Amino acid sequence: MNLPLRPHSLAGPYALDALDGRELHRFERHLSRCARCRDQVRALQTDTLRLARAASGTAPAGMRERVLTAVRITAQETVPRPAGARRAPRLVPVAAAAATLALIAAALLGVQLSRTQERLDREQAQARAIAQVLAAPDSRATGERFPDGSTVVVVSSPNLRRAVVTVTGLQDPPSGKDHQLWLAGAGKPRSLGLLNGEEPLVARDLGGPGGALAVTAEPDGGSPSPTGRPLVQLALESTVFGK
């Protein structure tokens, strides 16, 4: 890649977010040393703000509830502010490990965190399934944080008959056991699958009136019906999975 000899000529592309890769990093390094360029970029960013505002629209109605639910269960970053230290001009991405609950909120909102390559395919399929539920026009969120610090969050779409269930903050199951998620309704509890750590689980073919979600520790690989006592339980309103 031919890098320009006069990097400050990149102020326009930078203000428009039209740089990427090495060129972006290089220009940002240059910015930290060039006060004139910072002024120029700042002025140009005022112009791009006008372009941004001209694109204003109306957020989808269901988004508010989902975001506010995510906010209720998501810890904030703590930002150390070293006195006198210059901040990097570009926004730093959210550090994935910063908060315990970031993973579930991320999953809730379909954020892809960086993972090892071999997990990506499976997670992408999972992420698509999750995104599909989240983007369904009828999707709704519910959740609860328990006194022991564990949380259960459910985002469901009655039309798709699917829900994304995320359980966090549970102690690891004893060795030789797995956490299994159940839907307890009028009849026999139905297994929704095994929980893999704090990864969200996509429950399919849901329907009928509410009931309750429960997690139990079951012998490795799960059981046909629950044998352990519920570790967490979340009562569902009848509307969660449709009538």
Partner 1 sequence: MGADELLPRVADGDQGAFEDLYGLVSGQVYGLVRRVLRDPAQSEEVAQEVLLELWRGAGRFDPERGSALAWILTLAHRRAVDRVRSARAASDREERVARRAQTPPFDQVAEEVEAGLEREWVRRCLDRLTALQRQSVTLAYYDGYTYREVAHRLSVPLGTVKTRMRDGLMRLRDCLGGGAA
Compute the distance between CA of residue 161 and CA of residue 57 in angstroms, rounded to an integer.
30
Q: In angstroms, give the least distance from the CB of 102 to partner 1.
A: 7
Only segment of 60-68, 114-122, 162-170, 201-209 that touches partner 1 (CB under 8 A): 60-68
Q: In angstroms, give the least distance from the CB of 187 to partner 1.
A: 35
Compute the distance between CA of residue 156 and CA of residue 239 in angstroms, rounded to an integer.
10
Q: Which of 25, 39, 52, 225 binds partner 1 (CB under 8 A)?
A: 52
By residue count, the chain amounts to 243
Cβ nearer to partner 1, comparing 46 with 196:
46
Q: In angstroms, give the least distance from the CB of 78 to partner 1.
A: 7
125 binds partner 1 (CB under 8 A): no
Residue 37 identity: C
60 binds partner 1 (CB under 8 A): yes
Helix (H) / strand (E) element for 234: namely strand 232-236
**Inter-CA distances, 6 with 2, 39, 43, 44, 45, Å:** 12, 16, 19, 18, 20
Residues in region 70-89 near partner 1 by CB under 8 A:
70-72, 74-79, 87
Compute the distance between CA of residue 53 and CA of residue 32 in angstroms, rounded to an integer.
28
Tokens of 176: 């030789």
Q: Which of 57, 147, 221, 224 binds partner 1 (CB under 8 A)?
A: 57
Compute the distance between CA of residue 61 and CA of residue 64 in angstroms, rounded to an integer.
6
- Binding residues for partner 1, rule: CB under 8 A, are 4, 9-13, 15-20, 42-60, 63-64, 66-68, 70-72, 74-79, 87, 91-92, 94, 98-99, 102, 105, 109-111, 131, 134-135
